[in-house]
């Protein structure tokens, strides 16, 4: 009996690993060569990894804000992209 391809729970994957896997999934999906069922599984996994990455970024942002406040720095300003960004 073939062994099932069990992927780790996205919440247990660190940010860099989640981003790397997400990039790979996007590349596979963009080829258009995956069967429908595999595409849906890849898309579902991608959504879970995206949520993991968003959560990790939010946690990092909160930590930075706490550290800045502890050091007497002014509040963090929202990023305003310029035309060059």
Q: What is the dihedral of CA 19, 61, 9, 42, to 10 degrees?
A: -40
Whole-angstrom distance, CA of residue 19 vs CA of residue 52: 9
Domains of the chain: 10-70 (1.10.287.1040)
What is the Cα–Cα distance from 58 to 55, expressed in whole angstroms?
A: 5
Q: Report residue 18's pLDDT band, with 50, 70 and 90 as the boundaries.
A: very high
Neighbours of 5 (CB within 10 A): 6
Q: What is the pTM of this model?
A: 0.71
Confidence class for position 74, pLDDT limits 50, 70, 90: low
């Amino acid at each position: 009996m073939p062994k099932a391809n069990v992927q780790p729970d996205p919440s247990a994957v660190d940010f860099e690993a989640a981003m790397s896997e997400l990039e790979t999934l996007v590349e596979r999906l963009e080829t258009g060569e995956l069967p429908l069922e595999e595409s849906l599984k890849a898309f579902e996994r991608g959504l879970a990894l995206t949520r993991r990455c968003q959560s990790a970024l939010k946690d990092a942002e909160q930590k930075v804000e706490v550290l800045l406040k502890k050091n007497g720095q002014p509040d963090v300003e929202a990023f305003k992209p310029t035309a060059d960004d």
